[in-house]
Copies of this chain bind each other. A is one copy, B any other.
Amino acid sequence: MSDMTETTPGWLSSDELELARARMPILYVEAVPVRVDDSGEVTHIGLLLRIGPDGTVSRTLVSGRVLHHERVRDALLRHLEKDLGPVALPQVPASLQPFTVAEYFPTLGVTPFHDPRQHAVSLAYIVPVTGDCRPQQNALDLVWVSPEEASSPLVLDEMPGGHGVLLKQALAHVGCLS
């Protein structure tokens, strides 16, 4: 989660957000965008390529804060639209039961997840998308990879902050972890 400059106007000023981040767990949602066939089986996983503040390129997932007075499903939809563009046609799940809860700590080693900026707790969902994806904003590009490619250490090790672990959990949940 080291890569998300929240550019959407929110309810907190930058200073206030800094303060809150030092005091409370911050609620996030994360989505693993997938392409599925008619029987619902995952055929491709969407990975975002981003440039971090230090110029390095990393692969990541759709991710962002839940704002004050925003429903989890509206936050999911907003971040999917922000990262995949307005015509991605994401199928936000009917149930809010996430496939996992990822806990990002500013301290390394508490969990497999790490965010130097904050303690973030993230509800993670698999989201099939059927439309055209056109990455916006910070995201440079979107690549669709097969479940086999997504399972490879080459891909997973390129994902910072534990996103590789989250992706493995997603692949396991949809029965595609080889």
Contacts and interface: CB of A to CB of B under 8 A. Distances in A.
A155 interface: no
Interface in A16-63: 16, 20, 22-27, 34, 36, 38-42
Contacts of A67: 24-25
A100 interface: yes
A135 to B, nearest CB: 20
Contacts of A20: 20, 23-24
21 contacts: A12-B23, A12-B24, A20-B20, A24-B27, A25-B67, A38-B92, A39-B71, A40-B94, A41-B94, A71-B111, A94-B174, A96-B100, A96-B101, A97-B97, A97-B101, A98-B101, A112-B175, A112-B178, A169-B175, A171-B172, A172-B172
A124 to B, nearest CB: 10
Interface in A95-116: 95-101, 103, 105-107, 110-112
Interface of A: 11-12, 16, 20, 22-27, 34, 36, 38-42, 66-74, 76-77, 91-101, 103, 105-107, 110-112, 119, 121, 123, 126, 128, 165, 168-169, 171-175, 177-178
A74 B39 contact: yes
